[in-house]
Amino acid sequence: MDINNFGIFNSNTWGNVSEWIIITVTIITIILLVKTFREQRRTNEIQASKNDLDLVLSLFERLQADLDGYMLVENDKNHYGTRALFKYAKGLDRYRTNEDAFAFFKLQLETDNIFYLIKSINVIDNLIHTSKIEAQKQVLLNNKLNLFFKVKLEFPLSLVVEKFLYIDDSLSIELRNFYNKHAEQKITIDTISAVKKYLQENYNE
Q: Are strands 77-80 and 71-74 parallel, antiparallel or unpaired?
A: antiparallel
Q: Is 95's pLDDT higher than 80? A: yes
Sign of CA dihedral 130, 131, 132, 133: negative
Higher pLDDT, 27 or 133: 133
| pLDDT at res. 37 | 72
Q: 59, exposed or middle or buried, with CB in 10 Å at 0-12, 13-18, 19+?
A: middle
pLDDT-wise least confident of 43-47, 78-82, 168-172: 43-47
Q: Could you tell me if 97 and 103 are in contact, meaning their C-beta atoms sit under 8 angstroms apart?
A: no
The reported pLDDT for the residue numbered 93 is 93
pTM: 0.76
Write the pLDDT tens digit of every residue in 43-62. 777 788 888 999 999 999 99
* Dihedral, 74, 117, 187, 161 alpha carbons, nearest 10: 40
In degrees, rounded to 5, the angle at the alpha carbon of residue 197 between the alpha carbons of residues 191 and 202 is: 120
Query: In degrees, to the nearest 5, what angle opens at C-alpha 53 toward C-alphas 49 and 54?
Result: 120
Task: Work out the percent of the chain whose per-residue pLDDT is above 90.
Answer: 60
Q: Is 189 helix (H, G, I), strand (E, B) or coil?
A: coil
